Amino acid sequence: MTASFHVEHATRASRIGTAAFAVAIVLLAAAPAWGGRDDLRLLSEIYAYVALASLWNLLAGYAGLVSVGQQAYVGLGGYVLFASTIEAGVHPLLAVPIAGAVAAVVALPVAGLLFRLRGHYFAIGTWVVAEVFRLVASQISALGGGSGISLPAAIVTEMASSRQMREFLIYWLALALVVIVLAAIVLLLRSRYGLALTAIRDNELAARSNGVDVTRTKLAVYVLTAFGTAMVGALIFLQKLRISPDTAFSVNDWTAFVIFITVIGGIGRVEGPIIGTVVFFVLRQTLADLGSLYLLMLGAVAIAVMLFAPKGIWGFLAERFGWQLLPLERRLRFAPDARTT
Amino acid sequence: MEWVNIIIQGVLIGGLYAMFAAGLALIFGVMRLVNIAHGDLIVLAAYIALMTTDTLGLNPLLAIMIVVPIMAAIGYGLQRALLNRTLGDDVLPPLLVTFGLSVIIQNALLELFTADSRRLNAGAIEVASFPLTEGVWIGVLPLLQFVVAIAVIGALQLLFYRTALGRAFRATSDDQSVAQLMGLDNRHIFALAMALSLAVIAVAGVFIAVRTNFDPAIGPARLIFGFEAVIIGGLGSMWGTLVGGIILGVSQAIGAQINPGWQLLAGHLAFLLILAVRPEGLFPKVRG
């Protein structure tokens, strides 16, 4: 008998959600027409955090690789951009994918070492790697050593001669990058690898006994997130025009915020980091004056969410109301004749 | 002679790293928890030592008597109120909660004590030293720190293998549910383990406060040193942490001698090297 059923990903909610995403992307792509310079800057920053948090979510929420050292790849991406444009004369926009590729290559031997550490110790191991990257960067005097370096004006004008056009270009690049990252994650999760990843997330042992090559899948996700994270890092520092070891490998900026965003929004769900980033920026715009107290409160909120609503804001809403913004569910739909036979 | 001196300094500082590591290894052994806030709790102990010496006018080394019980009480409370809720099969909750705790402690210390570097004054003992042989001098304070580290680790070893509490720790570590069936209250045992862990790092925190400048941001690096010493020494072995600490201390001392910028890097590279050639550590006992 031939299979008379098919797998359906979309629900009514996800169709509405996907349509809303499409409209939002068009509106956001037109932002240079309706927004000021500050709006574009803020939006670019939001895109960067959505992308970083989505990648961390894929790593920790799906593959179970809890890293507290993703700043290693943000910083590596930034430094590869500066090194390839300054030392090798690469066009800055081309340097962004190069940064991703370099990070993916670096991630392979790093994973070879770190995967020897189980669960908890893996997390601290990733932090050691980030520290090693930071210390090495501060030893490279051609890139400014410990005090850092600015992107030379000649390279900056290479992108576009007018400042406004440059800002538009970086803005569109940031938007494109976050759309690509999100689309790649959705496509990955809908593929058979996504099924394997979800199985690993839910029960690693069961996944293994059903024939999922857990180590290989985790390695692939680790390398893929390094690739994406480094591209985002390259873009962040292309916008800042200046890099130093302490800003590039900052655990607060690129890991603490990212983890809090993902946990508060909802870990293990694609929509979580998006919701988390919105909450994060709303809080930041209103509470930024509090300085270190703001970070303290954010930490406390993340702990409370982890203890009392471990699936985060989106997890709570999705379970309560059955919402999903992206077509990720799998439902079996039987053909009418299949039911009668 | 210069190199002998450097290696001796490295060995002595290794005792401090071993104390960081012993606290970490203890709770991992009993409840498979890795406390990311470990380093920040060490710094917290240093600040508590600062407050007690400031208000009571005590010698910092005597302040240990006060800091240790305070930290132990914090550890017991933290475990009962917060960390016990995170334990289970999933590695995510304990990691994220202790990571959040780390950020909270750091920023609370920053808010209370500012980012200024602080230091405790222990008086004449700070600069006292004696010649071992010609050209090799040993500081009294580093030596004291090393002896205390050995005593602490020896005491932990005795406690683990010679006392009823140690038996309870080992039983819980081997099989939680059977230990519970035998009448042990896991929540209480875990809280005692955390109290002991923080008591150990309280001693380390006071020595840090006396020997070096400290500020609210130095915690994570201490966590990493302790972690590296645990992995180098091998999981589950108390004396292994001492060897791990010494290897780390000596590597850093040698690195610093070659180029001041390489001190920390040399320690990390020693750790990565061990991870590459002998991932189970030098003296493994349990598998994580």
Length of chain A: 341
pLDDT tens readout for residues B28-74: 888 888 899 999 999 999 999 999 998 988 888 888 999 999 999 99
Picking from A66, A125, A128, the nearest residue to B91 by CB comes out as: A66
Please list every residue in chain A whose beta carbon sits closer than 8 Å to the beta carbon of residue B34.
120-121, 123-124
* Whole-angstrom distance, CA of residue A263 vs CA of residue A314: 10
Per DSSP, A269 falls in state S
A15 touches chain B (CB under 8 A): no
Evaluate whether residue B247 is within a structural domain: yes
Residue with the larger pLDDT of the pair A76 and B180: A76
Evaluate whether residue B271 is within a structural domain: yes
Annotation: CATH topology of A15-331: ABC transporter involved in vitamin B12 uptake, BtuC (1.10.3470)
Q: Provide φ and ψ at A138, rounded to 5°.
A: -75, -10
Amino acid B265 reads L
Please list every residue in chain A whose beta carbon sits closer than 8 Å to the beta carbon of residue B223.
124
Evaluate whether residue B127 is within a structural domain: no
Q: What is the pLDDT of residue A3?
A: 60
Report the candidate in A223, A199, A211 with the shortest Cα–Cα distance to residue A59: A223
User: Mind telling me how many Å the CA of B53 is from chain A's nearest CA?
Assistant: 26
Mention every residue, 6+ apart, whose C-beta is less than 8 A from residue A118: B288
Residue by residue, pLDDT tens for chain A (341 residues) are: 556 777 777 777 778 888 888 888 888 888 888 888 888 999 999 999 999 999 999 999 888 899 999 999 999 999 999 999 999 989 999 999 999 999 999 999 999 999 988 777 898 899 999 999 999 999 999 998 889 999 998 888 888 888 888 889 999 999 999 999 999 999 999 888 888 888 888 888 888 888 888 899 999 999 999 999 999 999 999 999 999 999 999 988 899 999 999 999 999 888 999 999 999 999 888 887 777 788 888 899 999 999 988 888 888 888 888 777 776 777 777 766 555 44
Report the candidate in A326, A223, A212 with the shortest Cα–Cα distance to residue A266: A326
Evaluate whether residue B265 is within a structural domain: yes
User: Mind telling me how many Å the CA of B92 is from chain A's nearest CA?
Assistant: 7
CB-CB under 8 Å, B34 with A66: no
A127 touches chain B (CB under 8 A): yes
A172: left (phi over 0), alpha (psi -120 to 50) or beta: alpha
Number of domains in chain B: 1
Asked if residue B268 has pLDDT above 90, the reply is yes
Evaluate whether residue B45 is within a structural domain: yes
Residue-number span of the structural domain to which B191 is assigned: 2-114+140-277
Nearest CA in chain A to B271: A128
CATH number, domain with residue B236? 1.10.3470
Evaluate whether residue B128 is within a structural domain: no
* Whole-angstrom distance, CA of residue B90 vs CA of residue B113: 36
Which percentage of chain B shows pLDDT scores above 90? Answer: 61
- The position carrying tokens 């690129």 is A254
Please list every residue in chain B whose beta carbon sits closer than 8 Å to the beta carbon of residue A116.
275, 279
